Structure 1
Amino acid sequence: MAEGRSFIKWAGGKTRYAAQLVAMAPPFTGCYWEPFMGSAAVFFELRPAKAVLSDANPELVACFRAVAADPEAVMAHLDALPNTPAQFAAVRAQDPASLGAAARAARVIYLNKTAFRGLWRVNRRGGFNVPYGAYDRPYYNRDTLLAAAKALAGVDIRVCDFADPLREAAVGDWVFLDPPYLPEGGFADFKRYTPGQFHDADHERLAAAMRDASSRGVLLTMTNSDTDATRRIYHDFRATRMATRRDINLRAAARTSSDLVLTNY
Structure 2
Amino acid sequence: MSKVLPYLGGKSQIASEIISHFPKGPKCYVEPFFGGGGIFFSVPDGLYQSKCVNDINNNVMTFFRVLRDRKEDLERVCRLTPYAKEEWNFCGQLASGLNLSSPEGELELARRLWVRQSQGFAGRQEGGNPCWARKGAKGPDLALRAANSVDLFAEAAQQLVRTEIDCIDALEFIGKYAGANCFIYEDPPYHPSTRIGQSYDHEPDEAWHEELCKLNLKCSEAGALVALSGYDNRPYNDILKGWRKVAFTRYAPSAMGAKSEEDKHRTEVMWMNYPATSEIGTSWFPQVKATNSREKALLAGIKRGAHKNH
TM-score bracket for this pair, using the shorter chain length: 0.7 to 0.9
Shift, 1:94, TM fit: 4.1
- For residues 194-234 of structure 1, the C-alpha deviation after alignment (integer angstroms, 9 at most, x for no partner) is 3xx11111101101111111111000001111122332243
Query: Among 215, 219, 227, which residue is 2:221 paired with?
Result: 215
CA contact (8 A) 1:191 1:198 kept: no
Greater CA drift, 99-108 or 231-240: 231-240
Say whether 1:234 aligns with 2:240: yes
Say whether 1:114 aligns with 2:119: yes
2:195 alignment counterpart: 185
CA contact (8 A) 1:242 1:259 kept: yes
Ranges in structure 1 where 5+ consecutive residues have no aligned partner: 124-128
CA contact (8 A) 1:180 1:190 kept: no
* Cα distance between partner residues in 2 of 1:57 and 1:94: 12
Shift, 1:55, TM fit: 0.6
* Cα distance between partner residues in 2 of 1:57 and 1:65: 13
Say whether 1:98 aligns with 2:87: no
Q: Secondary structure at the match of 1:98?
A: coil
* Cα distance between partner residues in 1 of 2:195 and 2:26: 39
Shift, 1:236, TM fit: 5.0
Question: Highest CA radius of gyration, 1 or 2?
Answer: 2
Query: Among 167, 183, 186, which residue is 1:159 paired with?
Result: 167
2:280 alignment counterpart: none
Shift, 1:190, TM fit: 4.3
2:133 alignment counterpart: 133
Query: 1:140 and 1:151, CA in 2 relative to 1: closer, same or farther beyond 3 A?
Result: farther
Shift, 1:33, TM fit: 0.5
2:32 alignment counterpart: 35
Say whether 1:149 aligns with 2:154: no
1:257 alignment counterpart: 266
CA contact (8 A) 1:203 1:233 kept: no
CA contact (8 A) 2:184 2:224 kept: yes
Q: Secondary structure at the match of 1:74?
A: helix
CA contact (8 A) 1:34 1:40 kept: no
2:209 alignment counterpart: 203
* Cα distance between partner residues in 1 of 2:71 and 2:62: 13
Shift, 1:261, TM fit: 0.8
Greater CA drift, 33-42 or 82-91: 82-91
Shift, 1:109, TM fit: 0.9
Q: Secondary structure at the match of 1:193?
A: coil
Shift, 1:81, TM fit: 2.4
1:26 alignment counterpart: 23
Shift, 1:107, TM fit: 1.0
Query: 1:49 and 1:172, CA in 2 relative to 1: closer, same or farther beyond 3 A?
Result: closer
Shift, 1:83, TM fit: 2.2
Ranges in structure 2 where 5+ consecutive residues have no aligned partner: 136-141, 275-310
Q: Secondary structure at the match of 1:41?
A: coil
Query: 1:137 and 1:106, CA in 2 relative to 1: closer, same or farther beyond 3 A?
Result: same
Query: Among 8, 11, 26, which residue is 1:11 paired with?
Result: 8
- For residues 52-105 of structure 1, the C-alpha deviation after alignment (integer angstroms, 9 at most, x for no partner) is 110111111101111111111112222332222222221112425535222111
2:53 alignment counterpart: 53
Query: 1:234 and 1:72, CA in 2 relative to 1: closer, same or farther beyond 3 A?
Result: same
* Cα distance between partner residues in 2 of 1:143 and 1:80: 13
* Cα distance between partner residues in 2 of 1:42 and 1:131: 25
Number of residue equivalences: 253
* Cα distance between partner residues in 1 of 2:198 and 2:28: 30
TM-score, structure 1 as length reference: 0.87
